[in-house]
Amino acid sequence: MTTDHGDEPRDGAAEPDEPALDVAETLRLIREQQDRARDATGPDARLLFLAWGVAWLVGYLCLWASAVHGGAGTGSMVGAQPEPWAFWVFFSLIAAAVAFTIVHTVTRTVGTRGVSARQGALYGWSWTLGFVSYGFVLGGLARAGASDEVMALASNAFACVVVGLLYLGGGVAFCEQRLYVVGVWILLVAGVATIAGLPLTYLVMGALGGGGFLVMVVVEHVLKVRRRRLARGTPPARVAGEGAADA
């Protein structure tokens, strides 16, 4: 007489399927969710780089072309000043870039709470405070009797210092190394442009400053697409396992 044990499967009975723990797949899903959350609640660096790249490239090249045209009429390029219309174009583009940066940063973090929300709000309003202070400094220099050439160099250099330092702060606040690198680049370009003197200052700022922003748009987009593809792709561990089973 035989006795059936409950823990022994009968002939023909299928064993229950137990879900296999796929560590690689779990990590991939976690990483994908983290990327989505960061994209939804953090500023899009591509848009910020594009706004400032267009503003600097078009604005500074207008200043340079206007200054060169005016200098050619007087026979001297050194210290040549741009035409009033070029300043209107330049400051309108800069104001638009500042406004876009503030609105984009604040709106992208409006749905978040806690530390991230405070970081986004404080960073966005830092742009306003920085450029308000910038205006007062320029007003003080003009009142002190600074020459037109000094005012032109100072206005460009101080604006770049404000933008460069804010990008450094944004890189630290949002853990974005590329923002920090751009901040360093802006500060270096500002130094070179100031030493170059007028009207070459505007050409340096347009080509190296605005061009650098536009290059970063491409770099940021390529890295973003690559990160998404890696997050959605098949984990290396699974690929290796399937290859060994087929062999």
Dump pLDDT digits (tens) for 180-204.
999 999 999 999 999 999 889 999 9
Residue 108 has pLDDT above 90, yes or no: no
Q: What is the pLDDT of residue 236?
A: 45
Q: Helices (DSSP H) in the chain: which residue ranges?
A: 23-41, 45-74, 84-108, 115-143, 148-173, 177-196, 200-204, 211-232, 236-246
The amino acid that residue 176 corresponds to is E
Query: In which band, very low, low, confident or very high, does the pLDDT at 30 lie, cut at 50, 70 and 90?
Result: low
Q: Over 60: is that where the pLDDT of 40 sits?
A: no
Quick check: helix, strand or coil at residue 195? helix
Average pLDDT over residues 147-171: 90
pTM tops 0.75, yes or no: no
pLDDT at 210 over 90: yes
Query: Which positions ≥6 away from 219 have C-beta within 8 Å?
Result: 178
Task: Identify the DSSP state of 20.
Answer: -
In the DSSP assignment, the letter for residue 233 is: S
